[in-house]
Structure formats: C-alpha cells, structure tokens
Amino acid sequence: MPADTPTTPHADPAGRLRRALALTTMERYFGLVLNFATMAAVSRILTPSEIGVAVIGWAILSVPYALRDMGTMDFIIQRRDLTPYDTRTAATVGILTAVALVAVILGISPWIVSAYGDPRLGQFLNVMVFAILTDAVGSPLVGLMRRELEFGRVVFVNLTLAIVTASVTVGFAVLGFSYMCVAWAGLLGNASAAFVALCIKREVWVFRPALKHWRDIVGFGGYYCTMAFMLRLYEAVPYLALGRFMPPAATGYYNRAVQLCQLPEKVILSGIVAVAFPALAAEAREGRELKPSYLRAIEYVTAVQWPGLVLLACLAPTVVTLIYGHQWLDVVPLVQIMAIASIIGANSVLNYPILYAVGALRHALLATVLSLGPSSLVLVLAARYGATALALSMCATVSFNTFVMMQFIRRHLDFTWLEVWMAVRKSVVVLALSAVGPLALMWIFDAHAVQPLPVQVLILALAGLGWFCGLHLTAHPFLAEISHVANAVKRRLPALLRTKKARFSPDP
C-alpha cells in the first residue's frame, strides 16, 4: 500500500474492542489521577481568585478552541471512503481555521479585558491562545490513528499531553507564575502532544496543502462547528456569567465543584467515550443495527455511574478536603447538588457519538440548538444570584437537555421509552440498594461536615455491598463484564508471576 494511502478498518472483533477499551481506560485513569493530583497541588498554592482568573480565561478560549479544526478529526473518522486528498484537505482547513482564530482572539483581547475589568485576563489569553494552533497540527494525525483503531498510539499521545501539562502547571505554580501557570501548561502540553503524534505517525504527506474536497470538509464542519460552538459555549456560560456578576473567587469555587462532580463520569466512563464513536462508526459503515448497542451501553453506564454519583454526594466533605484542602469546604454543598442533578443525564456521554455514527449531523445540530439555547438562558439568570443558585438550576437544565437529545436519537434508532425503561430498570434497583445505607448515615450525621474515619469506611462498605447485592439480585448483565475481566486476570496472572520470578532468579 502506498505510504500516503490511509487504511480503512474492517469490522472489529469484540476481543479487539475490549483490549482497546482496557488500554484507553487505563490511560484515562492515569490522566484522571494526574489531573486531580495537579488540582490538589495547585489549589494549595493559588488562591480562589487566581484560579478564578484562569477559569474565566479558559472559558473564553474554550469556544474558539472547539472550532480549531473545523471538525476535521471526526470527519476523518466518519468518512466512509477516505482518500489521501480528503485527509490533506482536512489538515489544511484545520490549520487555516486555527490561524484565523488565533488572530481574532489576539485582536479582541483588549476588549475582553475592558469588559471584565481585569488586566490579568489579557496576559492569560495572549499566551494560551497559541495552544489552538499547536492542537490543530496534531488533530489530523490523531484522527487517522482513531479511524484505524490504533488506540495504543492515541494513548501515548494523550499521556504525553497529560504529563507535560501537569508538570508545567505545578512547576510554574511553585515558581510563582500564579494563574499564568495554566496558560503556559496548555500551550506547552499541546505542543508536546502534536510533536509526539508526528513522531509516531509519520504521515507527513498529511500536511501537504490541498483544498480539492474543501466543500465536503466545510459541509461536515459547518454542522460540527456549530454544535461544538454551542457545547463549549454552554460549558463556558456559568463561568463567564459568574465572572461578570461575581468576584473571581466565586468562579473558582464553582469550577472546583464541577470538577469533583464529574469525578464519577471520568472514573467510570473514562475509556468508553474515546472508543464509542470509532466503534459505533465502524458498525454503521458495516450496516449493522445500533439500537441494541446503544441500549446495552445505557444499561451498563447507569449501573455504575448512578451509584457513583450518590456516593460522591455522601462523601463530598471528605473528597473536597482530601483533594483541595480545608480552605475549600464551601464547595461541598455545590458538589452535592450537582451530583444529584447529574443522575438524570448519566447517558449523555453516548448521545453525540451515536448521532455522529449514524450521520445525523443535522438532527444533532437541531437537538443542540433546542436544548442548550433555553438552558443557557436559565444558567445566566441563575448566575446573577451566585454559585448555589447556579448549581440548583442544573436540576432543570440536565433533565431538559436529556429529554430533547433522547427524542432525536429515537428517530434514528427506533426505540420506545418502554425499551429505555427496560434497559435501566435493573440499574434502578442497583441504585436503590447501593444508596440506602450511605444516605441513612448522612441523615444521622452532618451531611456537610467531614465524618470520622469509621463512618467514612462504613459508607463505602455499605455502598459496595449494596451495589454487589443489586447486581446479583437483578442478574444485571454488567456482571458478565466483571466476570470476563476477572477470568482474564486469572488466566494471565500465573504467566506474569512466572515471568517476574524468572527475571529476578539468578542464572544457573
């Protein structure tokens, strides 16, 4: 095969997908631990106000950052018959778009500083904005890796990004760079990841300028960029609104609460999302029905994420103190509210991958507009009354967004609400049994205070016992996955032990 001809993967066996999922999950867990270790260190070095400035700056850049590659990575993954010209055009369009965005942000930076009345934002934006350009360089290469299901290489790129970003953030914070440690970490982390991607995926032909199929890229990117714009804007709205109406410290508190509230999703679903879209897209290209896969994914996700969110709400004081320190205990009520509100949206991580996989970009865009538009208005209005009101508003926005997205997904997968209930009914029992013990203890003790160690251990024990009892009582299919992992460990552990023993044994 010529060097500039990308491969098109065939149907991937279940075993290969499991290995890809395991590899990606391990990488995501490593990144998660590194991320929270970084937040723990930085939260003890910087003040809430300094962190608030970095959060507001990142929120401002998150919108152009979403537009940086015009959807070229997902175009490369989703394109049925990908040609070298398609790949080259995608890379050219992505880089040109990134250059334009960098120029625009640098031009309007003084206006942003004037609007927020904080000159620190200008310093942050003038450095962090160049991360958009470096990321656009690595994006088409990572897109090829993901299309070809080369998740080992993708993991290596992501590990580079995580390690460099964490090292620079903590190192520069210790050296006194204050909020600018985040900006420099973003720039140097993305640059390092792009360099590594180029080293391990030596497809330099990708960067030969080409615009032959630019209309296809722009057509796909038009839908994608509009959706990405709205999604990133929706994520940024709370920070932008709080930063406008409240002191920067309020934004810092809210950000730290959001990060902790996303902990169950990141721990439980860390590898699923990265593998879901390429795997679903491969099934769609083969003409397979996606409804069973989607409903089965919902069944698995809810069985573990729902109990995880309730457990986080119960242990929020301990988790906040452990990760951020006692000076951040004001975050506890926000975490508890957000965790409970997030239960209804547990399957949200699957919504866009399934719509992208079936090629329903127009419906994905329409669902985004109809759901996030009204929800953004609710968030802006709530932000005027502070972080607690903003957290409470999530109960309404998460429910509304989930309902709208599910309505559009039903059009393509042709399932009923009864089928959704049948998919989650066992998870409801698992949730109830895993939550009853911890919630009873929180009713007895102060829910907003750090509990004694024996109480914390008892909460974990009751939650774990209830979870396993619920899985066995309902014969939940997630048990099969647990058994598969356990059997794989049993088969490989003796060989690993023999290898380790032979390695350290003296030569005869």
Distance CA 264, CA 340 (A): 12
- Of 57-61, 281-285, 361-365, highest mean pLDDT: 57-61
The pLDDT value recorded for residue 295 is: 85
Question: Domain spans of the chain?
Answer: 1-246, 262-358+414-500
Please compute the mean of the pLDDT values over residues 482-495 and round it to a whole number.
Answer: 70
pLDDT of residue 192: 92
pTM of the model: 0.72
Amino acid at 170: V
CB 423, CB 295: distance < 8 Å: yes
Residue 497, Cβ neighbours under 10 Å: how many?
A: 10
- What percentage of residues in the chain have a pLDDT greater than 90? 20
Helices 272-285, 14-45: axis angle to 10 degrees equals 150
**Amino acid letter for position 383:** A
Task: Indicate if the pLDDT at residue 240 is higher than 70.
Answer: yes
Q: Where are the alpha helices (DSSP H) in 263-358?
A: 263-268, 272-285, 291-314, 316-323, 332-341, 351-357
pLDDT in tens, 285-304: 666 677 887 888 888 888 88
Q: Locate tokens 């607690």: which residue?
A: 388
Structure tokens at 209: 């300028």
Structure tokens at 20: 């890809």
Stronger pLDDT, 89 or 114, i.e. the higher one: 114
pLDDT > 60? residue 212: yes
The mean pLDDT value of the chain amounts to: 80
Please, which residues have CB within 8 angstroms of residue 23's CB and are 6 or more apart in sequence? 151, 152, 155, 271
Tens-place pLDDT, residues 381-436: 999 898 899 999 998 999 999 999 888 888 888 888 898 899 889 999 999 999 99
The mean pLDDT of 333-346, rounded to a whole number, is 89
Compute the distance between CA of residue 329 and CA of residue 317 in angstroms, rounded to an integer. 7
Highest mean pLDDT among 248-252, 315-319, 378-382, 503-507: 378-382
Cα angle, residue 167 at apex, residues 165 and 139 outer, rounded to 5°: 20
What are the tens digits of pLDDT across the range 474-485? Answer: 988 888 777 776
Residue 297 near residue 350 (C-beta atoms within 8 A): yes
Q: What is the model's pLDDT at position 293?
A: 77
Least confident window among 134-148, 236-250, 430-444: 134-148
pLDDT of residue 375: 92
pLDDT of res. 6: 41
Nearest to 297 by CA among 270, 276, 311: 276
